[in-house]
Amino acid sequence: MKSIFSPTQSRAKRQRTGQGVSASQSHVPDWGSLPHHIVLHIFQYLSLVDRARASSVCRCWNDVFHIPELWRRFEFELNQPATSYLRSTHPDLIQQIIKRHAQHLQYVSFKVDSCTESAEAACNILSQLVNCTIKTLGLISTARPSFMNVSQSHFVSALTVVFVNSKSLSSIKIDDTPVDDPSLKVLVANNSDTLKLLKMSSCPHVSPAGILCVADQCHGLRELALNYHLLSDELLLALSSEKHVHLEHLRIDVVSENPGQTQFHSIKKSSWDALIRHSPQVNIVMYFFLYEEEFEPFFCDETPVTHLYFGRAVSKDMLGRIGLNCPRLVELVVCANGLEPLDEELIRIAERCKSLTAIGLGECEVTCSGFMEFVKMCGGRLSQLSIMEEVLIPDNSYSMEQIHSEVSKHLGRIWFPDMMPTW
């Protein structure tokens, strides 16, 4: 930045020392009369603090500082020194944005640390965004979900301010927040034509009826993320109605907090079928964080899931059913499994899931022969194959070295199992 701020100074210095006079003088631009669009361009890549400082250099730069384009995107970072290593957006800057640039904001996100005060500060800012036309709003907890600790009424009233005033929201990410049905109703009443993306995983105050209302009214919705308890046959049918655009992405989190206390319902095959008829290309992504014994209701019928992620141990039976009932499967990640090798299950998945292109195995066991069989069957279509070294059990047919060369041969590229440091 120095070179921009002090051209005359440095020229003066050079003249005094008598060096490079002729060269520098002919090249020194008049920084104050740079065209606005160039200054704007430069400003976009300055940190906010630098931008604010630069704006006090001259009238021209100050004019640029207030060009709306510069203020379309803003990320409020709210952290407390006691809970975060990262710095916050300066309070003066926040005030300035609210006062002078609120009407220009289009893409707004809030990143808050695990402290409740930070989340409250975010809500306070939200409730002041009255004259806005925000398109994208993201509330992001960077550590623990601190929005959940804000009083629900405070949170909801702040969020409603944006929902009511913006009227052209297209993308909203409000995972892990106390958003509720009435606030979703306000969202729908004001933004039903523009809403394209809604991410609201782990919002315990929303009911299936609340999300159904969104699906019924917002026909442009293309991406949706929610928890399994909000997923219903009605919801899938609503998303499959004629008026509705093709759904591109549906993400479902299946979470249980205590073993045996959550009963999981099942979804009818006809509802899934309706969704796939309506949106043949849709990605259906499911994240499972369940105990082994809770998997029973899932995948007993054909399910059009494309991406599967098992964050905890998954039962062998469940993996067996995936091979039988998930023909659209593209990507499979198994973080952990019991002690028995998964050979048969994997081979069945290779046989039946013809679109499978990516697989990741964490704490599981597969014999080297079983794994080789799996790789042979999938061949080059496996664009991503991430297996921990510990997963593979050497047997009489293959050693680890052989596995590396054989798998590389079948994939058509150099492949290694993932390794962790031996210390």
Partner 1 sequence: MAPNSIHWFRKGLRLHDNPALQEAVRGAGTIRCVYFLDPWFAGSSNLGVNRWRFLLQCLDDLDSNLRKLNSRLFVIRGQPANVFPRLFKEWEISRLTFEYDSEPFGKERDAAIKKLAMEAGVEVIIKISHTLYNLDKIIELNGGQPPLTYKRFQTLISRMDPPEMPVETLSSAFMGCCITPVSEDHSEKYGVPSLEELGFDTEGLPSAVWPGGETEALTRIERHLERKAWVANFERPRMNANSLLASPTGLSPYLRFGCLSCRLFYFKLTDLYRKVKKTSTPPLSLYGQLLWREFFYTAATTNPRFDKMEGNPICVRIPWDKNPEALAKWAEAKTGFPWIDAIMTQLRQEGWIHHLARHAVACFLTRGDLWISWEEGMKVFEELLLDADWSVNAGSWMWLSCSSFFQQFFHCYCPVGFGRRTDPNGDFIRRYLPVLRGFPAKYIYDPWNAPDSVQAAAKCIIGVHYPKPMVNHAEASRLNIERMKQIYQQLSRYRGLGQVLAISSGLELHHCYICYSLPLNSSWDIVPRKFSQFFGLLSQILHYAFISVYINLPHQDGNISVYIALNSCISANVFVLRKKFWLINTVTGYFLLASYIKNCPSNC
Are 224 and 247 spatial neighbours (Cβ–Cβ below 8 Å)?
Answer: yes
Q: Which helix (H) or strand (E) holds 409?
A: helix 400-411
* Least distance CB 208 / partner 1 (angstroms): 20
Q: Which residues does residue 336 pair with via DSSP β-bridges, in sequence order?
A: 313, 363
The yes or no reply on residue 281 touching partner 1 (CB under 8 A) is no
Straight-line distance from the first to the last Cα atom of the chain, in angstroms, rounded to the nearest whole number: 44
Among positions 386-415, residues that touch partner 1 (CB under 8 A) are: 386, 388-390, 393-394, 399-401, 413-415
The yes or no reply on residue 362 touching partner 1 (CB under 8 A) is yes
Among positions 152-171, residues that touch partner 1 (CB under 8 A) are: 170-171
The yes or no reply on residue 208 touching partner 1 (CB under 8 A) is no
What count of other Cβ atoms lies within 10 Å of the Cβ of residue 302? 15
* Least distance CB 383 / partner 1 (angstroms): 4
The yes or no reply on residue 316 touching partner 1 (CB under 8 A) is no
Q: Between 37 and 76, how does the x/- string for binding to partner 1 read (CB under 8 A)?
A: -----x-xxx--------------------------x-x-
Task: Return all residues near 401 (Cβ < 8 A) that are at least 6 apart.
Answer: none
The yes or no reply on residue 28 touching partner 1 (CB under 8 A) is no
* The one segment of 208-216, 295-303, 316-324, 385-393 that binds partner 1 by CB under 8 A: 385-393
What count of other Cβ atoms lies within 10 Å of the Cβ of residue 18? 7
The yes or no reply on residue 29 touching partner 1 (CB under 8 A) is no
In the complex with partner 1, which residue's Cβ is closer, 2 or 59?
2
DSSP line for 243-268: TSPPP-EEEEEEE-SSTTT-PPP---
Residue with tokens 């759904």: 247
When binding is defined by CB under 8 A, the residue of 383, 397, 405, 409 that contacts partner 1 is: 383
The yes or no reply on residue 360 touching partner 1 (CB under 8 A) is yes
Are 245 and 281 spatial neighbours (Cβ–Cβ below 8 Å)?
Answer: no
* The one segment of 14-22, 150-158, 230-238, 335-343 that binds partner 1 by CB under 8 A: 335-343
Are 278 and 240 spatial neighbours (Cβ–Cβ below 8 Å)?
Answer: yes
Which residue from 85, 158, 152, 145 is spatially nearest to 116, judged by alpha carbons? 145
Among positions 235-264, residues that touch partner 1 (CB under 8 A) are: 248-249, 253, 255-257, 259
* The one segment of 119-127, 183-191, 369-377, 383-391 that binds partner 1 by CB under 8 A: 383-391
In the complex with partner 1, which residue's Cβ is closer, 93 or 143?
143
Are 238 and 244 spatial neighbours (Cβ–Cβ below 8 Å)?
Answer: yes
* Cα four-point dihedral sign 29, 33, 35, 39: positive
* Least distance CB 270 / partner 1 (angstroms): 26
* The one segment of 157-165, 205-213, 345-353, 355-363 that binds partner 1 by CB under 8 A: 355-363
Residue 295 to residue 322: CA distance in whole angstroms: 11
Q: How many residues bind partner 1 (CB under 8 A)?
A: 92
Residue 105, helix vs strand vs coil = coil
* The one segment of 21-29, 81-89, 94-102, 295-303 that binds partner 1 by CB under 8 A: 81-89
